[in-house]
Structure 1
């Protein structure tokens, strides 16, 4: 499922360990209170950020501006969920090499409703993401 722009901003902000006020103050060179109000409104979808806002936020979040790029008006969002399950982009599978086999095991565990196995595989999936994140941090 594709994240909305407010969800992306909130997720990336939290990843950086910043509260709304800190993030807004850094991104918009303003007071913590004014920054908090602006970020709160953006994250709630009450205020649409300008292209300049997006560029400033991407710098503070240390991500390429394209990560926060908005879709053109009227462009339908791609739905990754279906009745058959969830689609996982090939880029995700390429980045997390061990993900594919665990997803297959998870599908099987869900089909037989084995909660203990589901919990075990969820832990393994968490390990895959944690290991990959640590490896990426070491390489950067």
Structure 2
């Protein structure tokens, strides 16, 4: 496991702030611009992270990078999706939600441990972004 030391857990603080700004921006109509900006940043950064993990898993021989199931929530395809309009992406968003839950299930059954304290706010924010994409497609806005 991860050894915790006394002091401020800055990664947790950062992910909570990202989640708060994202969720408020996505949920409140008057904060739509904030929601769009945060959704873009979240999709772009997780997509970039997913591409990095993909490259390290398949393009290198680092043993520590093999079987890295973090790509289930840090989807490399998010890098492209970040630049696309929300329309016609509801099936992608539904699949992404399922993959977030698969990632959490793999953690629970012990296949791959996740730093849940730090990662949970980020995953929650992603779920809200994917939910907003689905809602936008259903409402036709």
Q: TM-score, normalised by structure 1?
A: 0.29
Which structure is higher in helix share? 2
Larger RCO of the pair (alpha carbons < 8 Å, separation 6+):
2
Q: TM-score, normalised by structure 2?
A: 0.29
| Rg larger for | 1
